[in-house]
Chain A
Amino acid sequence: MKEKKYDILPNSELKAEDRDLFCDARPVPVSKLNKYMEKLVNWARANSLWFLAFGTGCGAVEVRPLMTARFDAYRYGIAGRPTPRQSGIILIGGYASVKTLKRIIRSYEQMQNPKFVISLCSCSINGGMYFDSYNTINQIDKYIPVDVYITGCMPRPEAIIAGFNKLKDRIKAGNAEGANKYAENFDYYKANQKKIIKDWNMPDYNW
C-alpha cells in the first residue's frame, strides 16, 4: 500500500480552531474479499437497497407514489431512510442547484460504505431544460460518482424501479464501484466541487 496517497486533508477553508473538530483522513478504497465471499456479500447488498429520503429536486415527487400503495417498492427491498448513516443509496432527484449540491456532497460523504448513487431525470445528465441556468449544474458525475442514470422528465415510478433493478444487476456483477472511484479520484472530484461551491465552510471530507 502506498503511504503517500492517503495523507491527511488540509481542511484549509475551515478556521484554525474548528479544524480539531473534524476528521482529516482521506476516504480509502475498499479492497475486495475473496471470490466466493464477495459474491455472497454482493448478493446481500443487492437485496437491501435503502435510499436516503432527500428530495433534492422535482424528480422526488415520483418517489412518493413509488413508496406507497400503488407501486410499493418495499417488495423489492427498497426502503427510504431518514438519515445518511442508515442509507446506502442517494437518489439525486433531478437538477441540483449549487446550494443543494453542497448538501448532496455532505450527505453522500456521511453515508457508510457500500454506497451507490442513482441519478434521476435528464437535468442531472446534461443540464436538461435548465442547460442555460446560472444556478443549476449540468453534469452531476463531475461532482459525485453515479452508478445508474434514469432518464426522463420526470421518470415514471416504473422507470425508477427498472433503474433500481439495473443497480441490483450491477452490484451482483460487482460493477457498482462508485464509492471506490470517488476515493481513488478524490482530488479530481474535490477540485470540481470547490470550483463551483463558493463558500466552502465545511471540512474536505464529512465523515
Chain B
Amino acid sequence: MKTILNSVKNIEQIFGVLAKKIQRPDLIFITVEKKQVLSVLSHLRDIEEYTHLVMITAIDYLEQGKFQILYLLHNYKNNTDLGVKTFISREDAHMYSAHHLWGQVATYQRELHEMFGIDFPGSPRVNENFALEGWEGIPPMRRDFDTLRYSQETYNFRKGRATNDPKKYMKKNLHKE
C-alpha cells in the first residue's frame, strides 16, 4: 500500500514542494506553487488515490498581502489527509478553477468568491450570491473588514445594553491578582 510519505515524495519529485509540514502521521500539509496546483490535485486524485475532496478554504494574511488557499484531500485506502496549500496575491486575487475535478468544487469557489473576493474565472455560477444577498463593499471574511463596526453602524443596538470587556470584567470579579 502507498503511504502518505510516498505520495508526498512523488509530488516533490514531479512538481516540487515549497514547504512541508507533518502535523500528525496521517495529516501532512504541503505548499506548492500557484500554477502547479491543478496538476498536483489531478495527480493526487488519479494516481495517488486521494479521491475525496474534504474542503477548500482560504486564509487572509493581511500583513503579508496574500491569501492562502487550502485544498484538503483524503485517501480512503490508507486513511490519510493531505493538505495542498498555495499563496496568491491579495491585490489581484484570482485562482485557477478546479470545478472539473469534483462536483462540489464549484460551490466552494462560489463561497470563496463571495466571502473573500477571490475570483475563479470559468467556474460555473461563480458570480451568483451564495450566502449573502445584495452585499456591497469589501467581502466580509477579509481581515480588514470590521464586523463590529459594520454591525454598530447598520443594526443599532438597543439602548441599555451593557457590555463588559471580558479582560477587565474577569480581572475584577474572578482573577483578582
Contact = CB atoms under 8 A, between A and B. Distances in A.
A18 interface: no
B155 A196 contact: yes
Given A99-B133, A198-B136, A139 B158 contact: yes
Interface residues of A, number: 21
B157 A196 contact: no
Interface of B: 131-136, 140, 145, 147-148, 150-151, 154-158, 161
Nearest to A192: B156
Given A132-B148, A132-B151, A133-B147, A138 B158 contact: yes
Contacts of B131: 99, 135
Contacts of A132: 147-148, 151
The 7 residue pairs across chains A and B that have the minimum distance between CB atoms: A198-B134, A199-B134, A132-B148, A138-B155, A126-B158, A134-B147, A99-B133
B17 to A, nearest CB: 37
A135 B132 contact: yes
Contacts of A136: 155
Interface string A83-127: 000000000000000110010000000000000000000000111
Given A133-B151, A134-B151, A199-B133, 19 more contacts: A99-B133, A102-B133, A126-B158, A127-B155, A127-B157, A131-B151, A132-B148, A134-B140, A134-B147, A134-B154, A135-B131, A137-B155, A138-B151, A138-B155, A138-B158, A139-B157, A198-B135, A198-B136, A199-B134
Interface of A: 98-99, 102, 125-127, 131-139, 142, 195-199
Majority DSSP secondary structure for residues of A touching B: loop
9 contacts: A99-B131, A127-B155, A127-B158, A132-B147, A132-B148, A134-B150, A139-B158, A198-B133, A199-B133
